[in-house]
Structure 1
Amino acid sequence: MTDQNDRNLGADRRNFLLGGLLSASALSAAGQARAAPKKPPRRQPNIVFMLVDNYGYGDLGCYGGGELRGVPTPRIDRLAAEGVRLTNFNVEPECTPSRSAFLTGRMPIRSGTSAVELTGGKDGLAPWEYTLAELLSDAGYATALFGKWHLGSSEGRFPTDQGFDEWFGIPRSSGEVNWPLQPGFDPKEYSLQSIMEGVKGQPSRPLRPYDRAARALIDTEIAERACAYIAKRSKEDRPFFLYLPFTLPHDPPLTHPDFTKPNRSQYQNAMDEIDHNAGRVIDAIAAAGIAEDTIVVFTSDNGPQTFQGIGVDFGGQSDSGPFRGEFPSGWEGAVRVPCVIRWPGRAKAGRVSNQIVSLLDFYRTFAAVAGAAERVPTDRAIDSVDQSRFLFSDQPTSDRDHIMIFHDNKLLAIKWHNFKFHLEVRDAPRGPVVTTGQSTTTAFDNVLPEPWVFDIENDPKEMWNISTTNVWVRRPVAKIRRAYAESVAKFPNIRPGGERPEPAAG
């Protein structure tokens, strides 16, 4: 024991002397350079998550759009060059479902949020859900949301009821600002939603009506609040999670006057403002000196919305790139969107991957990098997959091999590896669907008498139905469906508007 103590004391003396030499050297170098000391890296990274509204796969320059569409997107393109660009990133078919998937790590069908609530019933997430904001808050993070919530518009279901310390934005959709313009509109049936703000522990309060004038200005204010938040929080030791669900380019794509330019469509103006606001957030992170400590994500909640607004725009809007279909449907154009992820030193700069990843996966992934994987609940079905090894290390393959696409409580399609298995068709595709060895089929909005199968790597537009020559694909897809059914039997789904899971009757 004495010999061991002597060895420890000797090591302590060597470390003390070496530390003194290193400290003297460091002080000398600091004195010569007169530079401020660099902050040590955080154990838990900050997370800034930018989510735009109805942005297509083909809108960004780094995904084939940008200048091709008349509006370069240099700031987001540069963000992609500095990080990972995913080309097989999958979301849900509509606004509310995607936001639910991101914040719960659960397929929205489980949370009663598989479609936007339009009947006047209770909307959004049940308080029983344990959101990503709650998980990160419990792990020591400051949390804030600035933008579109769309997961509850009544007390008990606002962001500050679901783990966010503070919020500013709108509870529902920008499309509502057009309702008063529609012929026959009855103001007794609907009052404009408000722009709101709130802090945890207090009721959220309305600030002003969200009308068409406010719609044009709100994304600028979201960006301004985000920049101020980053500057403030960067001075603290506590990490932060900043969720920025911007409202553009959702119909109507009204923009700040600084971006309303002649000889451009309103959608082009919106593309310009989106890139500018993303750039402002990126610059704020750089100015705060926390770029290396901060994960930045830019993505969309779903694909294109090509129908026209009222008196707002003419011509093209969001573009789905090489895919067809739009929201809310199971076609690739609805569920495959841009996604870029930057974390300097961890997410390899310039990497491009076509591995399958889901919006669901950020739940477990962020829990893992925050050192809080043990906080992921075990008393419910969690569909998220931890992708931290794939995104932030040298692992070449995703840890996910399939996704299930539900909408309005219906299973529309399943993607497994490079195959897409359609069970029900929503939003009939423009153009034919050709069944191998048979004649052209006309798509229809209904349950398919026989599933359609596409090889989406070889056939990204989902035109060639290969079900008759690839019957074997039904086996792995059947396993996925059985596993889901078994999980529901163990962990019942929440009904829309419900407060918690309820066991099936009988």
Structure 2
Amino acid sequence: MSSDPSRPNIILILADNLGWGELGCYGGGLLRGAATPRIDEFAQQGLLLQNFNVESDCVPTRSALMSGRHPIRTGCLQSVPAGLPQGLTRWEKLLPEILTEVGYISAHHGKWHLGDIPGRYPSDRGFDEWYGIPRTTDESQFTSALGFVPEEVEMPYIMKGRAGSPSENVCVYDLKMRREIDAILVEKSKDWLSRQAEARRPFFLYHPLVHLHFPTLPHTDFEGITGNGEFADSMAEMDFRVGQILDHLDTLEEPIRQNTIVIFASDNGPEFRPPYRGTAGPWTGTYHTAMEGSLRVPCIVRWENRVPANVVSNEIIHITDLFSTILDLAGASTLIPRDRHIDGIVQTNFLFNPLTRKSPRQGFLFYIKNELRAIKWRDWKLHFVYEPKVNQSSGHLESPYLFNTTRDPKEETDILAYNTWVLQPMLKMRAAFDVSLKEEPQKTATNGIGGIADSKSVL
């Protein structure tokens, strides 16, 4: 582990489908049936972002995090079933691959969802070791499903691997393991952190939790603990698991703990499938929509004596910014690829001075698959397709809807007719983005719904 502030250690914990309104520090907690004391305490120790934005689905968000690029560029447009091409090509330069070039050691414990064939597993893409699931959690229901035909599908497995060696299956990922996996992942991360204490190298730990993705089932130790059902029990467990990682970090040498950046965030907006339906708090919508409830998710950043404690900000940050900012903090900004468009903006100065500095990001374009759904600029949101609930789309709007997200957080009252001036900066953003897409065409999906075929890559 590193005690050099120019090469800080980095822990990134990513929850799965945690809505903006679930945690106590975001207005949820007990109101959602489960207190979240550990994450709430963590929020008081760092910077809580109210306007942290992601992509529409698990694969698009995770690809944006690892590449710093919108999925419309990389072709990682949506989650697809096993057996179909998916994930990031070898041509894309991933976060851990770049960190390796400046001496970092990296581990992945959790959900990957960016490639499920040799050459695309985490240990093939810059992580020194990994343990977890290559795709997604709903596959844990397969073996319990009525009429399941195992010979017709690829079985879901928990897997593990090390750089330079083939990844291998550990066990079938079924409903029993669904309840146990987050506990196992925490033990893997704790063991790895302990080993790094002796290595004296800066580290990057990526710990993508399985909670709260459906089926949202708690570990047996947490069943019934809240009295408010399995979703609330799972929230209590998730909070506890985050606390376990933070507690273990505290057991390490003081200079190392002080020199470790911890980021907690979510990959998508809340679950919409009953009985595991989540909430986005004051916002409307869930993942798979372009509503604020899909875009905005929790994100908290802590770095003792560098990022101010107990600060809340509504400045716009995007998931791609984590890519560029982490590399900047690690002293690797000169290694950010220059031969492709990187959408991530370095947010280091803002993170260090959130009370006096503005985010350098004004907004972004929001695609679902190949379709531009909305443009977000400052406090304004322009919808080209209006879909407040999944599968309830208006279709393409002849006259787009415009909302002010401060005055109308539910995005209910179109005010474009009185604010057509806003079209100028928004459509300039779109024009510039369109030019960049023509300069570097999107990777082509081989199956029409996801995956990538790219002449620049053998995988």
1:88-123 Cα offsets, whole Å, 9 max, x none, are 010111101110011100001111102112384211
**Partner of 1:294 in structure 2?**
260
Q: Residues of 2 paired with 1:260 and 1:457: CA distance? A: 39
Given candidates 284, 293, 296, the residue that maps to 1:333 is 293
**Partner of 1:221 in structure 2?**
184
**Partner of 1:483 in structure 2?**
432
Q: Which sits farther off after the overlay, 234-243 or 184-193? A: 184-193
Q: Which sits farther off after the overlay, 387-396 or 168-177? A: 387-396
Indicate the SS of the match to 2:150. Answer: coil
1:244-270 Cα offsets, whole Å, 9 max, x none, are 001111001112111111633110011
Matched AA of 2:331: G
Indicate the SS of the match to 1:366. Answer: helix
1:369 aligns with 2:329: yes
Given candidates 122, 133, 140, the residue that maps to 2:96 is 133
The Cα of 1:124 is off from its aligned counterpart by 0.7
The Cα of 1:331 is off from its aligned counterpart by 0.6
The Cα of 1:216 is off from its aligned counterpart by 0.6
Given candidates 215, 220, 232, the residue that maps to 1:268 is 232
Matches within 5 A, 1:315-330: 317-330=277-290
Q: Which sits farther off after the overlay, 322-331 or 41-50? A: 41-50
> TM-score by structure 2 length?
0.94
The Cα of 1:235 is off from its aligned counterpart by 2.4
Matched AA of 2:249: I
**Partner of 2:448 in structure 1?**
none
1:449-484 Cα offsets, whole Å, 9 max, x none, are 211110001111101111111112111111111111
Q: Residues of 2 paired with 1:370 and 1:59: CA distance? A: 31
Indicate the SS of the match to 2:152. Answer: coil
**Partner of 1:500 in structure 2?**
454
Q: Residues of 2 paired with 1:429 and 1:463: CA distance? A: 16
The Cα of 1:184 is off from its aligned counterpart by 4.6
Q: Residues of 2 paired with 1:427 and 1:68: CA distance? A: 23
**Partner of 1:28 in structure 2?**
none
The Cα of 1:165 is off from its aligned counterpart by 0.7
Matched AA of 1:224: E
State whether residues 495 and 501 of structure 1, in contact with CA within 8 Å, keep that contact through their aligned partners in structure 2.
Answer: no
The size of the alignment, in residue pairs, is 446
Q: Residues of 2 paired with 1:339 and 1:469: CA distance? A: 34
State whether residues 83 and 154 of structure 2, in contact with CA within 8 Å, keep that contact through their aligned partners in structure 1.
Answer: no
Q: Residues of 1 paired with 2:333 and 2:305: CA distance? A: 22
Matches within 5 A, 1:450-489: 450-489=399-438
Indicate the SS of the match to 1:390. Answer: helix
The Cα of 1:40 is off from its aligned counterpart by 5.3
1:350-392 Cα offsets, whole Å, 9 max, x none, are 1110000011101111111111110000000100000000002
The Cα of 1:149 is off from its aligned counterpart by 0.2
Matched AA of 2:164: G
Matched AA of 1:318: G
State whether residues 104 and 131 of structure 1, in contact with CA within 8 Å, keep that contact through their aligned partners in structure 2.
Answer: yes
Indicate the SS of the match to 1:176. Answer: helix
Matched AA of 1:51: L
Given candidates 245, 248, 252, the residue that maps to 1:284 is 248
**Partner of 1:311 in structure 2?**
none
State whether residues 105 and 204 of structure 2, in contact with CA within 8 Å, keep that contact through their aligned partners in structure 1.
Answer: yes
1:237 aligns with 2:200: yes
The Cα of 1:174 is off from its aligned counterpart by 0.5
Matched AA of 1:405: F
CA 75–501 in structure 1, closer or farther in 2 if over 3 Å, else same? farther
**Partner of 1:412 in structure 2?**
373
Indicate the SS of the match to 2:297. Answer: coil
Indicate the SS of the match to 1:453. Answer: strand
Given candidates 146, 152, 157, the residue that maps to 2:115 is 152
State whether residues 303 and 326 of structure 1, in contact with CA within 8 Å, keep that contact through their aligned partners in structure 2.
Answer: yes
Q: Residues of 2 paired with 1:404 and 1:172: CA distance? A: 26
State whether residues 82 and 154 of structure 2, in contact with CA within 8 Å, keep that contact through their aligned partners in structure 1.
Answer: no
**Structure 2 unaligned regions, length at least 5:** 446-450
Indicate the SS of the match to 1:465. Answer: coil
User: What's the C-alpha RMSD, in Å, of the aligned pairs?
Assistant: 1.8
Q: Residues of 2 paired with 1:501 and 1:88: CA distance? A: 37
State whether residues 127 and 161 of structure 1, in contact with CA within 8 Å, keep that contact through their aligned partners in structure 2.
Answer: no
> TM-score by structure 1 length?
0.85
1:448 aligns with 2:409: no
CA 378–40 in structure 1, closer or farther in 2 if over 3 Å, else same? closer
**Partner of 2:7 in structure 1?**
44
The higher radius of gyration belongs to: 1
The Cα of 1:212 is off from its aligned counterpart by 0.6
Higher relative contact order structure (alpha carbons within 8 Å, sequence separation ≥ 6) = 2
**Structure 1 unaligned regions, length at least 5:** 1-38, 309-313, 431-442
1:417-476 Cα offsets, whole Å, 9 max, x none, are 10001112345489xxxxxxxxxxxx7341122111100011111011111111121111
Q: Residues of 2 paired with 1:448 and 1:238: CA distance? A: 53
**Partner of 2:52 in structure 1?**
89
State whether residues 166 and 198 of structure 1, in contact with CA within 8 Å, keep that contact through their aligned partners in structure 2.
Answer: yes
Q: Residues of 1 paired with 2:293 and 2:146: CA distance? A: 31
Matches within 5 A, 1:361-440: 361-393=321-353, 395-426=356-387, 428=389
**Partner of 2:125 in structure 1?**
162
CA 181–208 in structure 1, closer or farther in 2 if over 3 Å, else same? closer
Q: Which sits farther off after the overlay, 55-64 or 406-415? A: 406-415
The Cα of 1:186 is off from its aligned counterpart by 3.3
Given candidates 58, 62, 82, the residue that maps to 2:21 is 58
1:311-363 Cα offsets, whole Å, 9 max, x none, are xxx4x632110011111111111110011000001110011100000111011
The Cα of 1:501 is off from its aligned counterpart by 6.4
The Cα of 1:494 is off from its aligned counterpart by 1.2
1:248-305 Cα offsets, whole Å, 9 max, x none, are 1100111211111163311001101110000010011111132211000111000111
Indicate the SS of the match to 1:121. Answer: coil
Matched AA of 2:396: V
Q: Residues of 1 paired with 2:12 and 2:228: CA distance? A: 29
Indicate the SS of the match to 1:413. Answer: strand
